[in-house]
A and B are shown apart, each in its own frame.
Chain A
Amino acid sequence: MSRTLSTTAPPRPTWQGLRLYSPAILVFLGLALVPTFASLGAENYILGLVTRLMILAIAAISLDLLLGHGGLVSFGHAAFLGLGAYTTGILLTEGVFQAELIVLAVIALSALFALVTGAVSLRTSGVYFIMITLAFGQMLFFAASSLAAYGGDDGLTLWDRADLFGTDLLHTRQGRFYATLAVLLATFVVVNAVVDSRFGRVLRAAKENPTRVAALGFDVFRFRLAAYVLAGTICGIAGMLSALQAEFVSPAIMSWQRSGELIVMVVLGGMATRNGALLGALAFVLLEVWLADLTVHWKLIFGPLLVLVVLYAKGGLAALLRPLTAEGRHG
């Protein structure tokens, strides 16, 4: 192929890429500055809050790969948060302190759980897919609740901290903050690259017209299963970060309400958009904190607000920012 052929795609200079991702770039710059400003006051609170926010953003971005780009409404995504958190908690309790070993175990278990449950769930579609992913999530929830040796219903406090390659980087709030930021950035870059890739193109096409995609010769099931495993694994890592950050794990992390919240974040931010899931998680947590400050009945405000977003800002926050990012539908 000669050089001139590369002009076949509409040219998209680098600055246009920067523009497309401008909201995320601003968010990441802001996040990088958080520790500096947090040192001015209420440091522990702010670092903890923002780390939690970033963990949920990782989970939401991974969910959007399924929900937005794949059209697969998984109502059990928090199960992977729980799986990652419990794997971390149990390993730390049992004396495995090497973070690099823990992360390998989390990746292996999350991928395996996603492979098995995905292979079953993806045989169904529509409401049945929602219900079966919910069922698998609940299964794991009750399994964790009955783990008497590891806290059962009450949860498990982690008395030990993980070492990253023999260092104490993850022992401080700041260290965990930067580790989480790094994973969030990697997740953002990887998921957006996957969406643009050959794989992502098949996944997105199958969302709109699976019959057509099968008639082209693609085994839609395999592509969806691979996406399910990838999303589950990323979310498992988020669960690990959550256990390290909170130094505590409990079944609440994988309640079905949490799965619902992750869906809300994606919808609030804008499904199948470049920046949506990140912005949605950010907005969700900040709104929660702000409204809970105003009143204990904050959910009475939050609910209608969400209805308004769904009704009037179709496409979520990303749609509101479209004049800024010039994001179009991509093929």
Chain B
Amino acid sequence: MAEPILEVKNLDKRFGALVVSDDVTFDLQPGECHALIGPNGAGKTTLVHQISGLLAPDAGTIHFAGEDVTRLPVHARAARGLARTFQITAVVPGFTALDNTALAVQRRSGTSFRFWGNAAKEAALNEPAREALATVGLEAKAHVPAANLAHGEKRALELAIALAMQPKALLLDEPMAGVGHDEGRQLLAVLARLKAHVPMLLVEHDMHAVFSLADRISVLVYGRILASGDPEAVRADAEVRRAYLGEAA
């Protein structure tokens, strides 16, 4: 196996008596989409928070691109190329879709400690931002404030922002959450296209999306990885069916 881009080892996290991550070990290989599934409350979002740096683990390590990032703050991990989307849409509501995306470009394009010049007019920021918006099909909404976008469009904008960062890995926390059927199909197409560009850790409840995107699936139950393997193996695993898929069927 190649050197993994993201490697989580023996991660433990407790909130009081509640164990939310119990000796979690998994990795993300270059070019791979690794899906993390599990019932509500299994600790998926908590795990994403620990990987992105919003929460500190009690024990264990997180390596990203060959570097130990376990103790690094959110912005330092993001600056190293670890991008994420949020389960609950997190964009800058007062900014247009273009400005939201251009802000992501700005991070990797020269210093942001520049106090003069109109940033909104910098073609070097707006052009890549526009391309990212086009990739997710939001080109026509470039000048609409994010607050006025439909829910599915906001989800797409999150992806555009993540794309604009040109990340080395992408953490997707339920990108399909609350999206309608038609919007969902479009988003799925976007995700399928993204897969070719960047390794993704996909947390998702939509099993159709998971099984059509994932190269590998890990099942998280009560903070523990119950099973891990290629989609067919996981689908066939009796324990997984009982713990999770059975509930949904």
Q: Chain A: residues with CB nearer than 8 A to chain B?
A: 1, 5-6, 8-10, 193-194, 196-202, 204-205, 208-209, 211-220, 223, 226, 230, 329-331
Contact = CB atoms under 8 A, between A and B. Distances in A.
A322 to B, nearest CB: 15
Given A5-B123, A209-B90, A215-B75, 14 more contacts: A5-B126, A6-B123, A8-B130, A9-B120, A196-B117, A199-B112, A199-B114, A202-B103, A202-B112, A208-B93, A213-B92, A214-B75, A217-B75, A331-B94
Interface in B88-115: 90-96, 98-100, 103-104, 106-108, 111-115
Interface string B66-106: 00000001111011000110100011111110111001101
B139 to A, nearest CB: 11
Contact of B96 (A1, A209, A214, A331): A331
B15 interface: no
Nearest to B108: A217
B52 A215 contact: yes
A201 B106 contact: yes
Interface of B: 52, 54, 73-76, 78-79, 83-84, 86, 90-96, 98-100, 103-104, 106-108, 111-124, 126-127, 130, 143, 145, 161, 165
14 contacts: A8-B127, A9-B118, A197-B115, A197-B117, A201-B106, A201-B112, A209-B91, A213-B92, A214-B75, A216-B75, A217-B75, A218-B112, A331-B98, A331-B100
Given A8-B130, A205-B103, A217 B79 contact: yes
Contact of B107 (A9, A197, A217): A217
Contacts of B54: 211
A198 B74 contact: no
A204 B54 CA distance: 21
A51 to B, nearest CB: 28
A22 B143 CA distance: 24
A133 B189 CA distance: 50
B104 A216 contact: yes
B121 A6 contact: yes
A46 B79 CA distance: 54
Contact of B119 (A201, A215, A223): A201
Given A5-B126, A5-B127, A331-B99, A214 B78 contact: yes
A218 B121 contact: no
Contact of B91 (A6, A9, A212): A212
Contacts of A1: 123-124, 127
B107 A218 contact: yes
Nearest to B125: A198
A200 B119 contact: yes
B165 A217 contact: yes
Task: For the complex of A and B, list the 6 residue pairs with the smallest distance between their C-beta atoms, beginning with the closest.
Answer: A331-B99, A217-B78, A331-B95, A5-B123, A217-B79, A8-B126
Contacts of A205: 92, 95, 103
A188 B188 CA distance: 48
A216 B161 contact: yes
B113 to A, nearest CB: 6
Contacts of B126: 5, 8-9
A218 B90 CA distance: 15
Nearest to B117: A197
A297 B208 CA distance: 71
Contact of A199 (B92, B94, B107, B115): B115
Contacts of A211: 54, 74, 86, 90
Contact of A196 (B112, B118, B143): B118
B99 A198 contact: no
B116 A194 contact: yes
Contact of B75 (A9, A219, A230): A219
Given A197-B116, A198-B114, A331-B95, A9 B103 contact: no
A116 B73 CA distance: 22
A331 B145 CA distance: 9
B123 A8 contact: yes
A330 B123 contact: no
B162 to A, nearest CB: 9
Contact of A330 (B73, B111, B120): B120
A288 B156 CA distance: 51
Contact of B94 (A9, A202, A216, A329): A329
A219 B73 CA distance: 9
B173 to A, nearest CB: 11
Contacts of B94: 204, 208, 329, 331
Nearest to B123: A5
B88 to A, nearest CB: 10
Contacts of B127: 1, 5, 8
Which of A5, A205, A215 is most buried by chain B, counting CB atoms within 10 A of its CB? A215
Contact of A212 (B90, B98, B116): B90
B118 A197 contact: yes
A244 B36 CA distance: 66
A220 B75 contact: yes
Contacts of A6: 121, 123
